[in-house]
Amino acid sequence: MASSTRDGDPEHEDEIRMWREDDIWVITDVETEVTTQGETREHALEMLDEAVGLHKGEIGGPIDDEEAFMEKIGIDSDEVEPTEELPNFMT
């Protein structure tokens, strides 16, 4: 993995790390520890930019109408079983 420093300071708040795993590029924002991937370096960077923006609350927002949102992204709300339990990654 390649790395660089700016003005001899190895710590940057805008530092990212990118590496290839099989057929995908993996990229991590060091400050937030947000990691994503893409089929190309450019796609991985675009995905990271969006993921960090969502993580920091700079883009996106609350979902006011859950059923309308699910319909928009192609999920039939009648096929989703309601549950009170959170997914494992949220606990």
Question: Does residue 8 belong to any structural domain of this protein?
Answer: no
What is the value of pTM for the model shown? Answer: 0.61
Residue-range definition of the domain harbouring residue 30: 16-80
Q: Which two tokens stand for residue 41?
A: 């370096």
64: Cβ contacts below 8 Å, ≥ 6 apart? none
Question: Does residue 1 belong to any structural domain of this protein?
Answer: no
Tally of domains within the chain = 1
Question: Does residue 49 belong to any structural domain of this protein?
Answer: yes
Task: Give residue 82's pLDDT.
Answer: 82
Question: Does residue 51 belong to any structural domain of this protein?
Answer: yes
In degrees, rounded to 5, the angle at the alpha carbon of residue 33 between the alpha carbons of residues 32 and 39 is 115
Question: Does residue 73 belong to any structural domain of this protein?
Answer: yes
Q: Is residue 1 scored above 90 in pLDDT?
A: no
The tens digit of pLDDT for each residue in 10-59 reads 566 689 999 999 999 999 999 999 999 999 999 999 999 999 999 999 99
